[in-house]
Structure 1
Amino acid sequence: MTMRRRLLLQAGLAGLGALALARQGLAQPAPWRAEEFDWHDGGRDRSVPVRLYTPSAEAPSALPLLVFSHGIGGSRRGYSYIGQHLAGRGIASLHVQHVGSDRALWFGNLLSLPGRLRQAADPSEALARVHDVRFALDRLLAEPGRRFDAQRLAVAGHSYGANTSLLLAGAALPGYEGLHEARFKAAVFISAPPLHGVARPEAALAAVRLPSLHVSCTEDVIRVPGYYSEASERVRLFEQTGSAPKLLALFEGGSHSVFTDRPGTGGVVANPRIKAATQALVGDFVQAVFDGAAPAEALAPWRAAHAGLLADFRSA
């Protein structure tokens, strides 16, 4: 039987959440709630834990939905500031946990950590992540009593999760054919690593056609055992992506992990400011796409409000 845990963050819990956000300098969202489900994909005999953020009040119409994929070593409880913000403005956010590349990697013998990370980055796990997202989306849309707008769906992810989102958005990698999820109308790639090992990454990325938002920072360097990636590779991936339209928001400073829930990374002052700007940016972008508006024009007020944080902002 599927275990379901409802976490209604109200009263005392809501007060604690608001206090934590205030301490980080993040805007407090409108009322929201979070629910956790421990789903199981019987076809693959694989656990798919998820966390769903929705408005706490009943919506008058079907909710738009964003599905979020975490980075390596993350969990369904990560990137909560994005989920809370979206739910507070009427957009549901489903955060999928990928067993095999989740937080369990950090537990165990430190000497074997590099091996666990290599296994988590194996092509089989990259493929499993895509199917995790598709399974979770199908399961949620089929939940009785739920109302989600199947015409307003978006996918997003950070780091490894951004690569997962790229495959779902149509990136044509050899050996990963047929993974494009046509139901998604927009994609958000946060700190997307380059497609290492792909003979022609520009051709693979050119196949991504849906509107996309790329988010990074000038110190977005990936350093994990056995892997290194320069910040400039995030910009190059944006340039090679075939999306129309596409936007790049590049923050000054920061770090690769500044977009996670970890406080202080990338600078004690910069961290909450980048998070606050990122949550608003993601919300404004997907809302613009869902509304049929030109994202670059719709984001002009956001760009003006956060100009002091930006090293670069482009649209194409």
Structure 2
Amino acid sequence: MTVPTPILSLAPVTLPAPERGDDLQVRISAPATGDQLPIIVFSHGFSQSMNSYAPLVDFWTASGFAVFQPTHLDSRTLNVTPADPRYPNIWRTRVEDLTRILDNLEVLEAAVPGLAGRLDHTRIAVAGHSWGAQTASTLLGAGVVGEADMTDPRIKAGVLFAIPGTGGADLSPFAAENFPFMSPTFEGLTAPALIVAGDKDDSPLSVRGPEWFTDAYHLSPAPKTLLTLFGAEHSLGGLSGYLVTETTDEDPARVALVRELSVNYLRSVLYPADAPLAVDNSPLGTVESKR
């Protein structure tokens, strides 16, 4: 029997953010032991919070990563409605939330008993699901049409789950009207990234169908890896939580594959001499890469 790895998790840890309207709340999770821990900063999907995505975060932490999860302003826990003057710029505030965490890593780690001095600040990855994947991708070099470059050189790799594709004519009328920031450009996404897409993820935000969620792979330069999950919808088997109502394609085996491959991928990038990426295909999905 495998003994679970003990982990530390503390929330909320609050970073002052007066210009944001609400201070930034962060959950920090890390293994109870070990030093030189690599870091993942994770951006949640629309309306989720720092308390979501336990299936991912628990596994990443048990695998030796320290994980930082902000609660963005669109979280249902904060009740920021479209009538709020901050709402049109929530997409930008999301990116600033991730940057704020990076700017305050020493403050955050000091807030968790036993964590200070145990992180490797040279090995930082960013990850996100859905809107969170678009948020994370901006730090990796993806752009938003008409906006300044927000690439952060501190980020060495990324994992982008169900990342939205290009805008313009590819958007549904609803998305074009309500989400004008959904106009990404991927030419500058030069950092290594794993893109995870479901071949049944037929979003109401796009007229193109599931292949829309592979744009970040096909339109960005190498190195990139694409994991396409067979039969997966937007939750990719249930990443956002255990037995949550928004999961339409619950599949523990699919979640297990995603978790294991994401850890293998990040280790292959952050520790290239020690952990080559396993790219064997599975009955649950297929992997392709460009180098």
Change (3 A) 1:104 1:197: farther
- Give how far 1:237 is off: 2.8
Moved more, 190-199 or 205-214: 190-199
Size of the alignment, in residue pairs? 265
* Cα distance in 2 between the residues matched to 1:132 and 1:241: 24
Letter in 2 for 1:148: L
Change (3 A) 1:146 1:279: same
Q: CA RMSD in A?
A: 2.9
Change (3 A) 1:159 1:29: farther
Percent same amino acid among aligned pairs? 25
- Give how far 1:147 is off: 3.0
* Cα distance in 2 between the residues matched to 1:116 and 1:193: 25
Letter in 2 for 1:232: E
Asked whether the equivalents of residues 29 and 89 of structure 1 are also in contact (C-alpha less than 8 Å), the reply is: no
- Give how far 1:219 is off: 1.2
SS of the counterpart of 1:127? helix
SS of the counterpart of 2:55? helix
Change (3 A) 1:165 1:50: same
Q: Which residue matches 1:103?
A: 76
Asked whether the equivalents of residues 187 and 220 of structure 2 are also in contact (C-alpha less than 8 Å), the reply is: yes
Match of 1:41 among 9, 12, 17: 17
SS of the counterpart of 1:125? helix
* Cα distance in 1 between the residues matched to 2:192 and 2:32: 29
Does 2:196 correspond to 1:215?
yes
Match of 1:205 among 147, 161, 186: 186
Structure 1: tracts of 5 or more residues without a match? 1-26
Q: Note the alpha carbon deviations across 1:150-204, whole angstroms, 9 max, x for none.
A: 21000000000000011111113234313111100001110001232499x9992
Structure 1 residue runs of 4 or more that deviate by more than 4 Å after TM superposition: none
Q: Which residue matches 1:308?
A: 283
Does 2:154 correspond to 1:178?
no
Does 2:277 correspond to 1:298?
yes
* Cα distance in 1 between the residues matched to 2:83 and 2:161: 23
* Cα distance in 2 between the residues matched to 1:267 and 1:288: 29
Moved more, 161-170 or 202-211: 202-211
Asked whether the equivalents of residues 156 and 188 of structure 1 are also in contact (C-alpha less than 8 Å), the reply is: yes
- Give how far 1:294 is off: 9.7
SS of the counterpart of 2:167? coil
Structure 2: tracts of 5 or more residues without a match? 111-115, 171-181
Q: Which residue matches 1:132?
A: 97
Asked whether the equivalents of residues 202 and 240 of structure 1 are also in contact (C-alpha less than 8 Å), the reply is: no
Change (3 A) 1:103 1:294: farther
- Give how far 1:43 is off: 4.9
Asked whether the equivalents of residues 4 and 62 of structure 2 are also in contact (C-alpha less than 8 Å), the reply is: yes
* Cα distance in 2 between the residues matched to 1:238 and 1:161: 16
Q: Which residue matches 1:255?
A: 233
Letter in 1 for 2:192: P
* Cα distance in 2 between the residues matched to 1:93 and 1:154: 10
Change (3 A) 1:267 1:164: closer
Asked whether the equivalents of residues 202 and 241 of structure 1 are also in contact (C-alpha less than 8 Å), the reply is: no
Q: What TM-score do you get using the length of structure 2 for normalisation? A: 0.81
Letter in 1 for 2:283: G
Letter in 1 for 2:254: I
- Give how far 1:28 is off: 7.9
Asked whether the equivalents of residues 214 and 249 of structure 1 are also in contact (C-alpha less than 8 Å), the reply is: yes
Change (3 A) 1:134 1:169: same
Match of 1:65 among 39, 58, 61: 39
Q: Note the alpha carbon deviations across 1:20-45, whole angstroms, 9 max, x for none.
A: xxxxxxx9852212111132223544
Equivalent positions of 1:25-174 (< 5 A) are 29-36=4-11, 37-57=13-33, 59=34, 61-99=35-73, 101-104=74-77, 122=88, 124-143=89-108, 144=110, 145-174=116-145
* Cα distance in 1 between the residues matched to 2:229 and 2:184: 27
Asked whether the equivalents of residues 166 and 208 of structure 1 are also in contact (C-alpha less than 8 Å), the reply is: yes
- Give how far 1:247 is off: 0.4
Change (3 A) 1:29 1:197: farther
Moved more, 159-168 or 176-185: 176-185
Moved more, 137-146 or 229-238: 137-146
Change (3 A) 1:267 1:197: closer
Q: Which residue matches 1:289?
A: 269
* Cα distance in 1 between the residues matched to 2:7 and 2:253: 22
